[in-house]
C-alpha cells in the first residue's frame, strides 16, 4: 500500500521507511517562523527550559507583521525583546515590516516542497501551497523546537479533495475553499491533512493555492497540501526532478475522497460570525456595507489586486463607503505599483496601507464598531475580529469585494 503526501513528507522528516495515521513520531524541523505577537512568550519559555542557543540560527525566521505599525504602547516591548533575541542568537532571517509572515515564508523561499515547517500562527498551513508540511503551534512547542530542532506530531489521516473542470467566470479560489469549509464544517477536518488534486487544481496558480491552503485551518486541518508540479518548480526555483517525489502514491489510502465539479461552484460569502456559515452571494445581495477590505495573507497577492483593479478601473467606490487595500508584502506592493493596480485602486477611492496584518487581526488600520458591516477578503469573521463584537463580517473573494465596493451593497462580480 502506498502513502499519502503527508505520510511521505513525515517519512522524510523521520527517516522511517513507513508511517501510518495515528502514529506518534518525532520529526526533524526544516524551518520555524515566529511573529512579533509571540516573540516575548517564546523567548521567556526558551530561557525557562534552560536553553541558551537555538539549534540552528539559519533555520529560524522572525517576522514583525501583526503589530506594524504599533497601535498600543505595549507593542514596543515585543520589538525590543525580538531585536535583542536576534542579536543574541545571531539570527540572519529577520523581517521588520517586509510583509505578512505567511506571504514571506513561501515568497522568500523559507518554506519549500517536502519540508517540515512550524510557525506561531494557525494560518501557517499556507505553505502547503508548495507541498510543504506546515502547521501552527504554540509558544511552548516553539521554544522546545528552538532548543532541540525536533517536534512530535501524530501522523494525520488524509482527506483527498478532487476538483475537476474549469471554474465559471467570477468564481475564484476563495469561493472554492469557502464552499469546501461549508461542506466539511468548522470541525470536519480536525487534525487531518487535506490533499487537493484534480484538473482544476492543476490549473491554479501558486497564489490561488495559497488562498486554499491558508484557509484550510478553518475546518480544523493540520495541514493542506498540493503536489509539486511545474508551477511549484517555477515558483520555488527548484528543478522539477528534485521535487517530483512531493506527491501522493497512486495507491495511497485515504480516510475519505471528496469529488467536486468545478462548474458547480458559485460566488459565496461566509456570513457572520462563523467561517463555515456559507451562502451564495446571490442570497445576500443588497446587504448594506460600510467598509470593504482587500488584503491579508489570504487574498493580498498580486493576482488579487489585479482582479479588483480590473473591476474598479475608471470607476469610483460607493459614496460613504471605505475601501482599505493592504498588499501582502513589500514586493507585491512594488509590483502592483509597476502594473498600475495601486493607482487604479487609489483613484477609485481606496485607502492603501503598508503590508501587514493590521485590520485582519483587529490591531490597526480600519477597525469598525457596533452595527457596521464589512466585506473582507481575509480568513476569519469571528465576533470582535475586526473591531467590536457588534461588527458584521462577511468573507468573500477579491472580485466580490471589489464589486461590493462599487455599489455599497453585497454584489457578485459579473
The average pLDDT across 83-101 equals 96
Instruction: Please give the Cα distance from 149 to 414 (Å, whole number).
Output: 50
**Please, which pLDDT band fits residue 93 given cuts at 50, 70 and 90?**
very high
Is residue 366 over pLDDT 80? yes
How far is Cα of residue 299 from the mean position of the Cα atoms in its chain?
Answer: 8
Question: So what's the pLDDT on residue 178?
Answer: 98
Fold of 270-407: Aconitase; domain 3 (3.30.499)
Is residue 361 over pLDDT 90? no
The average pLDDT across 165-170 equals 97
Is residue 364 over pLDDT 80? no
Instruction: Please give the Cα distance from 132 to 87 (Å, whole number).
Output: 29
The average pLDDT across 325-342 equals 98
The average pLDDT across 17-43 equals 97
CB-based burial, 394-411: b 16+ in 10 Å, e otherwise: bbbbbbbbbbbbbebbbb
Instruction: Please give the Cα distance from 107 to 331 (Å, whole number).
Output: 9
Is residue 313 over pLDDT 90? yes
Question: So what's the pLDDT on residue 245?
Answer: 98
Question: So what's the pLDDT on residue 227?
Answer: 98
The average pLDDT across 168-186 equals 97
Question: So what's the pLDDT on residue 88?
Answer: 98
Instruction: Please give the Cα distance from 85 to 63 (Å, whole number).
Output: 12
Backbone angles phi, psi at 147, to 5 degrees: -85, -25
Question: So what's the pLDDT on residue 305?
Answer: 98
The average pLDDT across 46-59 equals 98
Its pTM surpasses 0.75:
yes
Contact 225, 213 (CB under 8 A): yes
Per-residue pLDDT tens over the stretch 216-239: 999 999 999 999 999 999 999 999
Of 77, 57, 70, 134, residue with least CA distance to 97: 70
The average pLDDT across 380-395 equals 95
Longest Cα pair distance anywhere in the chain, in angstroms?
Answer: 62
All CATH 3.30.499.10 domain ranges in the chain, comma separated = 5-262, 270-407
**Which CATH architecture does the domain made up of 5-262 adopt?**
2-Layer Sandwich (3.30)
**Please, which pLDDT band fits residue 292 given cuts at 50, 70 and 90?**
very high
The average pLDDT across 317-335 equals 97
The neighbouring-strand residues paired with 269 are 279
Contact 36, 82 (CB under 8 A): yes
Q: What is the 3-state secondary structure (H, E, C) of 136-197?
A: ECCHHHHHHHHHHCEEEEECCCEEEEEEECCCCCCCCHHHHHHHHHHHHCCCCCCCCEEEEE
Question: So what's the pLDDT on residue 131?
Answer: 98
The average pLDDT across 379-392 equals 95
Instruction: Please give the Cα distance from 304 to 100 (Å, whole number).
Output: 15
Per-residue pLDDT tens over the stretch 196-216: 999 999 999 999 999 999 999
Is residue 136 over pLDDT 90? yes
First to last CA, the chain: 47
Average pLDDT, the chain: 97
Is residue 358 over pLDDT 90? no
Amino acid at each position: 500500500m502506498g502513502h499519502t503526501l503527508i505520510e511521505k513528507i513525515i517519512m522524510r522528516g523521520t527517516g522511517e521507511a513507513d508511517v501510518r495515521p495515528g502514529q506518534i513520531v518525532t520529526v526533524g524541523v526544516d524551518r520555524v517562523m515566529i511573529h512579533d505577537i509571540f516573540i516575548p512568550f517564546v523567548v521567556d519559555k526558551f530561557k525557562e527550559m534552560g536553553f541558551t542557543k537555538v539549534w540552528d540560527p539559519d533555520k529560524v525566521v522572525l517576522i514583525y507583521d501583526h503589530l506594524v505599525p504599533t497601535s498600543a504602547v505595549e507593542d514596543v516591548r515585543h520589538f525590543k525583546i525580538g531585536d535583542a533575541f536576534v542579536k543574541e542568537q545571531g539570527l540572519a532571517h529577520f523581517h521588520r515590516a517586509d510583509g505578512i509572515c505567511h506571504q514571506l515564508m513561501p515568497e522568500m523561499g523559507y518554506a519549500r516542497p517536502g519540508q517540515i515547517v512550524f510557525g506561531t500562527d494557525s494560518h501557517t498551513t499556507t505553505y502547503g501551497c508548495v507541498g510543504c508540511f506546515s502547521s501552527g503551534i504554540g509558544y511552548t512547542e516553539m521554544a522546545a523546537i528552538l532548543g532541540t530542532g525536533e517536534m512530535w506530531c501524530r501522523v494525520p489521516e488524509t482527506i483527498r479533495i478532487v476538483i475537476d473542470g474549469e471554474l465559471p467566470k467570477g468564481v475564484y479560489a476563495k469561493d472554492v475553499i469557502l464552499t469546501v469549509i461549508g461542506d466539511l464544517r468548522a470541525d470536519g477536518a480536525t487534525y487531518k491533512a487535506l490533499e487537493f488534486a484534480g484538473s482544476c487544481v492543476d490549473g491554479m496558480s501558486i497564489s490561488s493555492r495559497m488562498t486554499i491552503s491558508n484557509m484550510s485551518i478553518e475546518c480544523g486541518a493540520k495541514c493542506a497540501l498540493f503536489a509539486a508540479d511545474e508551477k511549484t518548480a517555477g515558483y520555488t526555483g527548484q528543478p522539477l526532478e528534485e521535487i517530483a517525489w512531493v506527491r501522493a502514491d497512486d495507491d495511497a489510502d485515504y480516510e475519505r475522497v471528496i469529488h467536486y465539479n468545478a462548474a458547480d461552484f458559485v460566488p459565496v460569502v461566509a456570513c457572520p460570525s462563523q467561517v463555515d456559515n456559507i451562502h451564495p452571494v446571490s442570497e445576500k445581495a443588497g446587504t448594506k456595507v460600510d467598509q470593504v477590505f482587500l488584503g491579508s495573507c489570504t487574498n493580498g497577492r498580486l493576482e488579487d489586486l489585479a482582479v479588483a483593479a480590473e473591476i474598479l478601473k475608471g470607476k469610483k467606490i460607493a459614496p460613504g463607503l471605505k475601501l482599505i487595500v493592504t498588499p501582502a508584502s513589500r514586493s507585491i506592493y512594488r509590483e502592483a505599483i509597476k502594473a498600475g493596480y495601486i493607482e487604479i485602486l487609489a483613484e477609485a477611492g481606496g485607502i492603501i496601507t503598508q503590508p501587514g496584518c493590521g485590520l485582519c487581526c483587529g490591531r490597526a488600520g480600519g477597525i469598525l464598531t457596533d452595527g457596521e458591516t464589512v466585506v473582507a477578503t481575509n480568513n476569519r469573521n469571528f465576533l470582535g475580529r475586526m473591531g467590536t463584537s457588534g461588527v458584521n463580517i462577511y468573507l468573500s473573494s477579491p472580485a466580490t469585494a471589489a464589486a461590493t465596493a462599487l455599489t455599497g451593497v453585497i454584489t457578485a462580480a459579473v
